[in-house]
């Protein structure tokens, strides 16, 4: 029987066994509610959450653990950051609506809240990116207005893997007293994060992107040197300093803390391994698959990411031909709609080219054997599908 191979690590990652081991006691033995202040069960849970908060703060270079607000994941964190900041601006400005700036290649969890804010009277500028998928900070500078309240630029793109000039863009925002938010879901464990040093005001994280559990995330909210104000989006108890009500997912939070610590500790070794395997696969496919090309910058990208255009072979048909090879044609979320990737279209690809693009995401456990076997399967499937297309 053929072996299944997972190459979709931008969609999600498996829980690290060390993370699972740390989580297990908080399902059974230490099951208390972290908001229960009157007994030992609650104190144990509260202590575990505090330790996880400290771990995550260290992992991203925050100044204080209190700057970490736990959420259900990066989607909720993005909504709290964008909507929370916009509504706080309107409240402090006597109801006047402000202006936000985002890039055309942001995740839908940023673009959709912005679209909702537009319907509520806010203004949103969507800045294009060059063909290589790497933002030029000058484009943000040109989009500033007198009433710009926030700029949101993702740290690393989930589809094409491109790394964005976060520190440079944040510096432009700081000079104008504009909030800077980054969707850093793909960044932790892939590139160094230093939110305080780099003048980042808000950063969204999701544990399942760095070998932690699904359903838990965090929003970094700057409190040192600048007090970022947000209007909470979930009400009902005043948890998380009043910014995010709801009983805390203690096992998930514990897992996220351990996963963040491991991700930073092993970052250099993991990146070196992923980069070696990425180049091995890319060079193999370039040599054996005619007309294949790379979407996005060849150097400034996630170490384990390839987004490939294979002319004449639609990604959906290629994935159907390779059921035991886990690939993607875009983000995991947008795959539900069947609509061509807005990220690829923003790079200037036509609808057909976007439909013929495939994402490959290697992870910390991917092996050379798996990469070579995947190359063989891809080569055979592409040849087979192109042969069918040419048959009268």
Catalytic residue positions? 333
Beta bridge mates, 163: 156
Token pair 């949101």 is at which residue?
152
Cα–Cα distance between 327 and 141 in angstroms, integer?
37
Rounded CA-CA distance 96/261 in Å is 42
In angstroms, the CA 364 to CA 263 distance is 10
Structure tokens at 351: 């609808």
Q: How many CB atoms lie within 10 A of CB 342?
A: 18
Partners of 301 in beta bridges: 162
CA contacts within 13 A on the Cβ side of 370: 20
Contact 363, 6 (CB under 8 A): yes
Cβ contacts of 62 within 8 Å, gap of 6 or more = 56, 68, 195, 196, 220
Q: Are strands 202-206 and 217-221 parallel, antiparallel or unpaired?
A: antiparallel
């Amino acid at each position: 029987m053929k072996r299944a191979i997972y190459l979709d690590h931008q969609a999600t990652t498996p829980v690290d066994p060390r993370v699972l081991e740390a989580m297990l006691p908080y399902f059974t033995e230490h099951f208390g509610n972290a908001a229960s202040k009157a007994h030992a069960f609650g104190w144990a849970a509260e202590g575990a959450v505090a330790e996880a908060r400290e771990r995550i703060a260290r992992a991203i270079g925050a100044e204080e653990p209190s700057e970490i607000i736990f959420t259900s994941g990066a989607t909720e964190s993005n909504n709290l950051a964008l909507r929370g900041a916009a509504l706080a601006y309107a409240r402090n400005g006597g109801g006047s609506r402000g202006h936000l700036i985002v890039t055309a290649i942001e995740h839908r969890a940023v673009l959709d809240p912005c679209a909702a804010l537009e319907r509520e009277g806010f203004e949103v500028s969507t800045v294009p990116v060059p063909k290589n998928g790497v933002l030029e900070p000058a484009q943000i500078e040109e989009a500033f207005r007198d009433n710009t309240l926030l700029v949101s630029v993702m740290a690393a793109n989930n589809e094409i893997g491109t790394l964005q000039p976060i520190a440079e863009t944040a510096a432009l925002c700081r000079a104008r007293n504009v909030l800077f938010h980054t969707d850093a879901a793909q960044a932790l464990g892939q590139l160094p994060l230093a939110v305080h040093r780099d003048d980042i005001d808000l950063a969204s994280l999701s544990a399942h992107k760095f070998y932690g559990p699904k359903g838990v995330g965090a929003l970094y909210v700057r409190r040192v040197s600048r007090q970022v104000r947000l209007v909470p989006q979930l009400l009902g108890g005043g948890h998380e300093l009043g910014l995010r009500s709801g009983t805390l997912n203690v096992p998930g939070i514990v897992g996220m803390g351990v996963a963040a610590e491991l991700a930073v500790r092993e970052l250099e070794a993991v990146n070196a391994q992923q980069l070696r395997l990425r180049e091995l696969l890319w060079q193999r496919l370039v040599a054996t698959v005619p007309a294949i090309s790379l979407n996005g910058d060849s150097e400034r990208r996630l170490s384990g990411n390839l987004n490939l255009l294979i002319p004449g072979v639609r990604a959906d048909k290629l994935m159907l031909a390779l059921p035991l090879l886990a690939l993607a044609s875009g983000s995991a979320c947008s795959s539900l709609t069947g609509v061509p990737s807005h990220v690829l279209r923003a790079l200037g690809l036509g609808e057909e080219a976007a439909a013929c693009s495939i994402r490959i995401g290697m992870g910390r456990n991917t092996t050379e054997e798996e990469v070579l076997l995947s190359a063989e399967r891809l080569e055979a499937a592409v040849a087979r599908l192109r042969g069918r297309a040419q048959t009268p």
